[in-house]
């Protein structure tokens, strides 16, 4: 395929900087990201997202993403507290040491690999 055509898109410089950073975090440059968008649009004969006109994007049960996140976090917290009341451990992951463990109501940790 010859890359002999140019598409020009004008956006604000601050916005461009932000999307370039996002593309870089995804492991590509902005040209690659836009090219991927165009290839997927051609392949699917549709936009690679569902356009909508809404004031607030609503998801499951009519909740916004923020409301849904808060509800899930609250449910997880309540489940953990109830488990502790029953003396049950909570499965956790220690990012600092890259290991899974069970945390007991008394604060004791039991790592999945058996090491302390």
- The percent helix, strand, coil of the chain (3-state, each to 5) is 45, 10, 45
Residues 58 and 81 in one domain: yes
Residues 4-52: pLDDT tens digits? 888 898 989 999 999 999 999 999 999 999 999 999 999 999 888 877 7
Residues 76 and 92 in one domain: no
- Domain region containing 114: 88-116
In a domain, 109, yes or no: yes
Assess contact for 104 and 110: CB atoms under 8 A. Answer: yes
State the pLDDT at residue 49.
81
Residues 50-95: pLDDT tens digits? 777 665 556 666 777 888 888 889 998 898 888 889 999 999 998 9
**Residue 58 contacts by C-beta under 8 Å, 6 or more apart in sequence?**
64
In a domain, 38, yes or no: yes
DSSP string, 8-19: -----HHHHHHH
Residues 34 and 21 in one domain: yes
Assess contact for 16 and 10: CB atoms under 8 A. Answer: no
> Tokens 């690659």 correspond to what residue?
32
Residues 57 and 80 in one domain: yes
In a domain, 105, yes or no: yes
């Amino acid at each position: 395929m010859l890359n002999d055509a140019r598409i020009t898109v004008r956006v604000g410089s601050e916005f461009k900087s932000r999307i370039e950073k996002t593309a870089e975090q995804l492991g590509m440059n902005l040209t690659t990201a836009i090219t991927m968008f165009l290839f997927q649009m051609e392949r699917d004969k549709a936009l690679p997202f569902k356009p909508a006109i809404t004031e607030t994007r609503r998801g499951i049960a009519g909740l916004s993403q923020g409301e849904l996140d808060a509800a899930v976090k609250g449910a997880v917290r309540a489940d953990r507290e109830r488990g502790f009341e029953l003396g049950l451990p909570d499965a956790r992951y220690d990012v600092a040491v890259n290991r899974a463990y069970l945390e007991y109501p008394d604060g004791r940790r039991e790592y999945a690999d058996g090491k302390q």
